[in-house]
Amino acid sequence: MSWLQLRLAITPDQAEHFEDLLLEVGAVSVTYMDAEDQPIFEPDLGTTPLWSHTHLLALFEAEVEEDSLVAHLQLLDGGELPAHELQRLEDQDWERSWMENFQPMQFGRRLWIVPSWHEAPEPEAVNLLLDPGLAFGTGTHPTTALCLEWLDGQDLQGRRVIDFGCGSGILAIASLLLGAQRAVGTDIDTQALEASRDNASRNGIDPARFPLYLPEQLPAEPAEVLVANILAGPLVELAPRLTALVAPGGRLALSGILAEQAEEVRAAYAEAFELAPTACKEGWVRIDGIRR
């Protein structure tokens, strides 16, 4: 199956108008894209910000005729369309393409993340089986990699771990496979908790060793290790709560932080933790330390 894609160059104040028009003339999907690579990492709560130069991509079924589509839009809009282009796209087997590209990955000395359909490259290593169908973290993002490498370098034997913002559960499950006695996961997204539960089952984790909570239900019980791979703003805001969840002498690792945000996050934790030098990967950082 093929598709017709219409790309419109718009400004933020035109977005709602053209989205409505495109849906009215039969678009099966409408997507916003940055036209100038200006990422918005942490929008204000309750807002849906757009870039100053935005591309609006609309997909139509293949039988839609290009000239008629443009003419119809111009009629409804009452004038010339913004700069635009039309393109015929061939359909792909996206799931098969993703499966082919997601290969086993090693983090540190012992730990491998292995797609559930792959054989483990090193059967005697610590192998975490992951199904990326629920895409809440696969190890491919630099922040996840920074946290996995840090966990691989810790002595987790018999420790209690908190994974704050657990997503797929990848960090908590890695902790358990690396020897932790118990890992607690929490996330604001109930689908993330379900993904964590599924991935834990896939790795033979006893549910009693990996309880999952929404943040407001998380017991206020300190652990020896806490990892939080979220965003810089929430990490600063949550500093008192996360600090209280780390036992004296316990270890903390924070990521989801851009390099230019590192000092602000470090300042929020410096009084309570002896912080190690900031670790960097592809413009992202990890901040870790020991509770004073």
Binding-site residue ranges: 144, 165, 187, 229
Phi and psi angles of residue 234, each rounded to the nearest 5 degrees, phi first: -60, -35
The rounded distance, in Å, linking the Cα atoms of 139 and 280 is 15
The rounded distance, in Å, linking the Cα atoms of 104 and 116 is 10
Binding residues for S-adenosyl-L-methionine: 144, 165, 187, 229
79, HSE (Cβ side, Cα atoms, 13 Å): 3
- Note every long-range contact of 14-21, with CB atoms under 8 Å and residues 24 or more positions apart, other chains counting: 14/82, 15/50, 15/54, 15/56, 18/56, 18/77, 18/82, 19/56, 21/73, 21/76, 21/77
For the residues of 98-163, what is the DSSP string, one character each?
A: HHHH---EEETTTEEEEETTSPPSSTTSEEEEE-TTS-S--S-SHHHHHHHHHHHTS--TT-EEEE
The rounded distance, in Å, linking the Cα atoms of 30 and 22 is 8
Q: Where are the beta strands (DSSP E) in the chain?
A: 2-10, 29-34, 54-61, 84-90, 105-107, 111-115, 126-130, 160-164, 182-186, 212-213, 223-229, 246-258, 273-275, 279-281, 284-291
